[in-house]
Structure 1
Amino acid sequence: MARGEHHRIHAHDRLQRNRLRIAQEAARLMSEHGIRDFHHAKIKASERLGIADAQSLPRNNEIEQALREHQRIFHADSQPQRVRQCREAAIEAMRFLAAYEPRLVGAVLEGTADAHSAVCLHVFSDDPDELLRFLHEHGVPFEAQTRRLRLSPVESADYPVLVFSADGLPFDLTVLPVDALRQPPLDRVDERPMRRASLAAVEELLHDGDGASDLERKLAALR
């Protein structure tokens, strides 16, 4: 083997090892310290490991895979129960918010929820103030925020977010216009249309239990 080819292979192997190390450290930070932003987690992980090469930064889906592995190894007893608890709470909230066509999104749907995760729902109304009035009328105290979502590779928009707690769990409602039911925003992990599940789908998911059920595989392919 030529010397140049040997160096090229060695450099490639080192790059792949560094990507894996950063992904694993980012997953640990997300699981143990509640970091929710993939980019922040990977930058912090690279700094902690002393790896400055930008090419070594893993993709978001690599970090998500490492997060699943971290949870499987270190939280196998508690994490599935947490996911189930959050899905049960999501069902109750979706029934309560039925008039707003709620959809479950994020870590609770994907099965990666932990003690730091909120139950994240998309709700739909062309008048966001209507939902605020609904929560007020039912005595639900909330904090109003905004969130920027990517609608396409070149388009983003800000949407209202309502944050509250119920039965010891945090909830996060993103209020989208009704026509957004047809076109989900892009997922932060893979930049494809975000996976979302209706009440019926979440009920079926909970009924089937956790793990690699047929519905889990369907949800993995759902867009």
Structure 2
Amino acid sequence: MRNQQQRQQIAETAARIMAQESLDDFKLAKQKAVARLGLSQSRNLPDNQEIEQALHTYQKLFYGQEQSQWLTQQRHTALQAMKMLQSFEPCLVGKVLSGTSHEYSTISLHVFCDTQEEIAWLLMEQNIPYEISERLYPGIERKYPCYRFMAGETRLSLTVFPYAEKRQAPPDPVTGKPMQRMTEKKLKEMIVENG
């Protein structure tokens, strides 16, 4: 019973840290929570799903309407980006999809094409300055190109996958299961449904 209470306390503290510090790193949030609670390195740490659930609860309780407005704006921005990237079959992933984004969250999209240069050409045609890096996913040895750019005040991240991997999503950092992906059509429906 004591172990379960301590685990819950760490999850709630980590969630509060993530919300208050606009932090996206679960591991770092756990470490900070353990330190703030004055615990020795515990083996009884909550998993990412427990922290994400605590984060949902914390955001509803303390940010309610504000967080709902950020999320709505981010989803509208994601939809506009997806329209621009339509030929690359974009899918929304991550915190903006799950509903745990904060004011400064990056909108993450997965796009699909045969050569990553196609994305660069589109961004150059649209006069959008970008940075390129690589993204690694746990359990996958391959690196994926990742384009980052700004849409107004919002950061966007496009991870480029070959068409052959469209039905094979990488592992979700929260659950370890294949990431949930949402198409433009489904995102439109979600926005309409949520008003």
TM-score per shorter chain, which class? Answer: over 0.9
Deviation sequence 1:9-54 (CA, Å, 0-9, x none):
xxxx221111111111111111111211111111121112122243
| Residue matched to 1:216 | none
Distance in 1 of aligned mates of 2:137 and 2:26:
15
In the TM superposition, residue 55 of structure 1 has moved relative to its aligned partner by 2.3
TM-score (norm 2): 0.96
In the TM superposition, residue 130 of structure 1 has moved relative to its aligned partner by 1.6
In the TM superposition, residue 56 of structure 1 has moved relative to its aligned partner by 2.2
Does the Cα contact within 8 Å between 1:103 and 1:123 map onto a contact in 2?
Answer: yes
Which letter does structure 2 place at the counterpart of 1:141? Answer: P
Distance in 2 of aligned mates of 1:193 and 1:114:
23
- Higher RCO (CA < 8 A, seq sep 6+): 2
Deviation sequence 1:78-121 (CA, Å, 0-9, x none):
01111111111111000000011100001111111111211110
Does the Cα contact within 8 Å between 1:15 and 1:55 map onto a contact in 2?
Answer: no
Question: For structure 1, which runs of at least 5 residues remain unmatched after alignment?
Answer: 1-12, 211-223
2:158 is the alignment partner of 1:173 = yes
Distance in 2 of aligned mates of 1:174 and 1:38:
21
Does the Cα contact within 8 Å between 1:102 and 1:123 map onto a contact in 2?
Answer: yes
Distance in 2 of aligned mates of 1:26 and 1:209:
28
Distance in 1 of aligned mates of 2:35 and 2:20:
17
Number of equivalences? 195
TM-score (norm 1): 0.84
Which letter does structure 1 place at the counterpart of 2:99? Answer: G
Does the Cα contact within 8 Å between 1:18 and 1:51 map onto a contact in 2?
Answer: no
| Residue matched to 1:71 | 59
**Rg comparison, structure with higher value:** 1
RMSD: 1.2
| Residue matched to 2:23 | 35
